[in-house]
Amino acid sequence: MLGLEKKDATLLLVVIALALAAPILLNPFPTESAMAQFNAGYPDLMQKFAIYGIFAIGFNILFGLTGYLSFGHAAFLGVGSYSAVWMFKLLSMNVIPALVLAVLVSSLFALVIGYISLRRSGIYFSILTLAFAQMSFNLAYSVLTPITNGETGLQLSLDDPRILGISQTADGGIPLTSLFGLAMRDSVAVKLGGWSFEFSVGYYVCAILMLVCFYLAMRIFRSPFGLMLRAVKTNQTRLNYTGLNSRPYTLAAFVISGMYAGLAGGLLAAMDPLAGAERMQWTASGEVVLMTILGGAGTLFGPVLGAGFIKYFENIFSKINDSVLQNWFGFLPDGVENVVLWVVEHFVGPGWHLTLGLLFMLVVIFLPGGLMEGGQRIAGLLRGKRKSGGDGGGDDPEYHPGQTPHVAE
Amino acid sequence: MDAILLQTLNGLDKGSAYALIALGLTLIFGTLGVVNFAHGALFMVGAFCAVTVSRLLTLSYTVIDETRTDFLGNPMKVDMPYLKSWLGETVGGTIIDWSVPLAILFTIPVMLVLGYAMERGLIKHFYKRPHADQILVTFGLAIVLQELIKHYFGANPIPTPAPPMLTGSFDFGALVGMDPNQVIYPYWRLVYFLFSAAIIGAVFAFLQFTTFGMVVRAGMADRETVGLLGINIDRRFTIMFGIAAAVAGLAGTMYAPIISPNYHMGMDFLVLSFVVVVVGGMGSLPGAVLAGFLLGVLESFSSMNEIKNILPGIDQIIIYLVAIVILLTRPRGLMGRKGVMEE
């Protein structure tokens, strides 16, 4: 199917099914129940899953395949957002031209930055990309204020030209972003017993784009081009000795992943038409690194999983506050309860980043392959048990795959 | 002329901080071969050591001051630090005023222990892993340290003043025989510069003139041979990690009066310090110090109005720009050694 092997086709179908049914799957608890706070099936959050999924898939094409660790990918996200908002200001509120421009501009940026940064590898490459991203961030805050609107961030206003659209709606408001008349904010709520599912246009636009990106990434992974990128990761020196110039390949990978980031940035702006410089800060670059590693760098589905995982827990953990905790642990004796509360409150609410940091460290230390490797090990463990033991050596849960030498060495 | 002098002086204190952090980073890299992304967090922890000490010293109880009244006419409640009541107004007050310099005594052991624990508990397991993994795990550790500090000290910057004697400014221009009131320089920045120069000198002297330092230098050159000679080089490297952590911590402690400590100051400095290390040349201690001061001064020069008028925004990007140029034209940085971290 679609030029994929059977295994990949199955994975793609599963991902398509998951993405299309997400508004239902992510709302497993009835709206009135106490567990409703764990529901993730509302448009804002699901859009983030899809958008950061795209961002991470793109980052993975660079990091997962070539081993080049870029610490400046957020620059492309920010550039994408700015170009999309400008398109909304100047042309029309249709998202298509905005997304096209976002991808084009970010690919140009990636081409320039990649061309320079890829002259070096390893930690020097990381520092170079970081330097470029920080430069973009600082300039967006200061000198480029006419383009970026500095600290306030770029926003739509009532007197924007919007040549192909309208400057303001009949009742004097700013028009909404839309896809040929379908506003991104539009949604259909379906009530079913105690459950309520919300199907929003914005989410489905993001999800379909994410699926397209996922499919393209799959094709890249399985292509001769993808093999070449893996060869770069495994041993670039040897590759060069065979007479191949690896730089066009790495540059292509860099530009592709920059385009993915630009698309994600454009989508962020399409869902909520404003763009701020903080999207380009290096913490944002760090976030996508976290997502990719947490999910499993170099795997197809890992980055999406990591992005969803981080965004979900970011939302849920930061919502848990003292009263919720007291509800949960109220059954414990007072003394024990206080101790438990004291420990737990470090990790929830505003302390969510602490949880993230710890989790990330644990993953890097014990599961270099990320959540995907964890899943495989558990699956292997279960299969091993079913196999009546004896030859379980191959399924040893303590088995660590040998380190693939990174370019960074 | 006075403008040049003023900008040089202004660049020195920031340059000192860069140099100290970069020195620690290079020490860790040169000895253990580990890229430590948590080094900025150590700088931040050092700054919060100063905050902690100043809070400990001002632990107070409330007394009722009969001589003054509040707006309702009741006797006023005044916070009375224990120190003042035990040691008297002058002695106690002086100790409280000098809390930042006193914090040095607290910072050194704390940071040595923290560095030691970090190396034994975490970094040790990452010697053989790729640099990317080291970057990632220390990055995670930096987040953890940062969030712990945020949890206990809050997200807002905490002003931590220098001793009153050193808070003012003095006329540096007049001292060197120029027109008065042209080059005004705060005392504390001068203190910071001298302090960091002393620390840098001490680290170099320690490496150059002690037996311990000699063994460490030998280990940096050829770890295996030193090990074969029956020297426990790992233990010495661990101690060097502690020392590097202490250097970063001291840099942070003394920096507290210049920038009120906040939980993300470490990351802000880390990014720049890494640029400094790379510009100086991976693994070169003099290179790190030189590049630190150089970039600090350059940054301060580029923030002059005359230059900003020609090249707007240059002050924001000068460091990164220099780094890019150096990395592309001098692959080993300014003073990098051959064979260290080359691809």
- Distance separating alpha carbons of residues A191 and A31, to the nearest angstrom: 10
Q: Give me B111's structure tokens.
A: 């940071």
SS3 label, residue B169: strand
Chain B residues inside the 8 Å CB shell of A124: 278, 327, 331, 341, 343
Burial class, A289, CB count within 10 angstroms (exposed 0-12 / middle 13-18 / buried 19+): buried
pLDDT one-digit tens code per residue, A128-181: 898 888 888 888 888 888 888 888 888 888 877 887 777 778 787 788 888 887
Give CA–CA dist A398/A389, Å, rounded: 16
Helix or strand holding residue A189 (H, E): strand A187-192
Residues of chain B positioned with their CB less than 8 A from the CB of A361: 122, 137, 140-141, 144
Ordered per-residue pLDDT tens for chain B, 343 residues: 677 888 888 888 888 989 999 999 988 888 888 888 889 999 999 999 999 998 888 888 887 777 777 777 777 777 777 877 787 777 888 888 888 888 999 999 999 999 999 999 888 888 888 877 888 888 889 888 988 898 888 888 888 888 887 777 777 777 777 777 777 788 888 889 999 999 999 999 999 999 999 999 888 888 889 989 999 988 898 999 999 999 999 999 999 888 889 888 887 788 788 888 888 888 788 989 999 999 999 888 888 877 777 877 777 788 888 888 888 888 788 887 666 665 4
DSSP characters over B62-75: EEEEEEEE-TTSSE
Give CA B23 to chain center in angstroms.
10
Query: Per residue in A219-233, pLDDT tens?
Result: 999 999 999 999 998
- Please state, in angstroms and rounded to a whole number, the distance separating the CA atoms of residues A100 and A88: 12
User: Would the CB atoms of A289 and B136 count as touching at under 8 Å?
Assistant: yes
Q: Do B341 and A121 touch (CB under 8 A)?
A: no
What are the extents of the domains in chain B?
Answer: 2-58+99-329
Cα–Cα distance, A348 to A365 (Å, whole number)? 23
Residues of B in contact with A289 (CB under 8 A): 136, 139
Could you give the CA distance from residue A130 to residue A313 in angstroms, rounded to a whole number?
27
Residue for token pair 């100063």: B50
CATH class of A6-281: mainly alpha
Residue A50, both tokens? 């899809």
Cα pseudo-dihedral A8, A10, A11, A12, rounded to 10 = 90
Distance, CA of B287 to CA of B268 (rounded, Å): 21
Measured in angstroms, the CA of B278 and the nearest CA of chain A are apart by 7
CB contact under 8 A, A356 and B148: no
- Per the structure block, which two tokens stand in for A87? 């398109």
Of A127, A143, A356, the CB nearest to B313: A143
List Cβ neighbours of A66 (8 Å cut-off, separation of 6 or more).
A229, A230, A232, A233, A249, A250, A253, A407
Q: How far is CA A16 from CA A8, A54, A190, A212, B156, in A?
A: 12, 14, 21, 10, 45
Give the Å distances, CA to CA, from A173 to A158, A167, A189, A225: 7, 9, 25, 49
**Distances in whole angstroms, Cα of residue A224 to Cα of each of A221, A302, B84:** 8, 22, 76
Q: How far is CA B279 from CA A4, B123, B291, in A?
A: 46, 25, 6
Best residue of A112, A116, A123 to probe chain B, by most B CBs closer than 10 Å: A123
Interface test with A, best of B34, B137, B147, B278 (most A CBs within 10 A): B147
Closest partner CB to B317 (pick from A121, A135, A406): A135
pLDDT at residue B200, as a whole number: 94
Q: How far is A203 from chain B (nearest CA, A)?
A: 31
Alpha-carbon torsion A134, A137, A138, A139, what sign?
positive
The interface residues of chain B toward chain A in range 295-334, judged by CB-CB distance below 8 A, are: 312-313, 316-317, 320-321, 323-324, 327-328, 331
The partner residues of B80 in beta bridges, in order of sequence, read B61
> What number of C-beta contacts closer than 8 Å exist between A and B?
128
CB contact at 8 A, A89 and A160: yes
> Quick one: which of B38, B9, B6 has its CA closest to B25?
B38
Contact B188, B17 (CB under 8 A): no
How many Å apart are CA A67 and CA A303, to the nearest integer? 15
- Find the DSSP H helices in A118-223: 122-141, 145-148, 201-222
Nearest one of A43, A38, A42 to A270, comparing CA atoms: A43
Task: Please give the share of chain A, as a percent, with pLDDT higher than 70.
Answer: 93
Tokens, residue B28: 């860790």
pTM: 0.84
Domain boundaries, chain A: 6-281
Q: What span, in angstroms and rounded, lies between the C-alpha atoms of A270 and A291?
A: 22
Instruction: Kindly state the DSSP code that residue A94 receives in the 8-state scheme.
Output: B
| pLDDT < 70: residue spans in chain A | 1, 385-409
Domain topology for B2-58+99-329: ABC transporter involved in vitamin B12 uptake, BtuC (1.10.3470)
Q: How far apart are CA B74 and CA B65, in angstroms?
A: 10
CA dihedral sign, ordered B84, B87, B88, B94: negative
Contacts of residue B265 in chain A, CB cutoff 8 Å?
none
Chain B residues lying within 8 Å of A234, measured CB to CB: none
Structure tokens at B319: 């460091």
**Of A306, A280, A279, which Cα lies nearest the Cα of A294?**
A306
pLDDT, position B266 = 82
Beta carbons of A134 and B132 less than 8 Å apart: no
Q: Please indicate whether, in this complex, the C-beta atoms of B132 and A67 are within 8 angstroms of each other.
A: yes
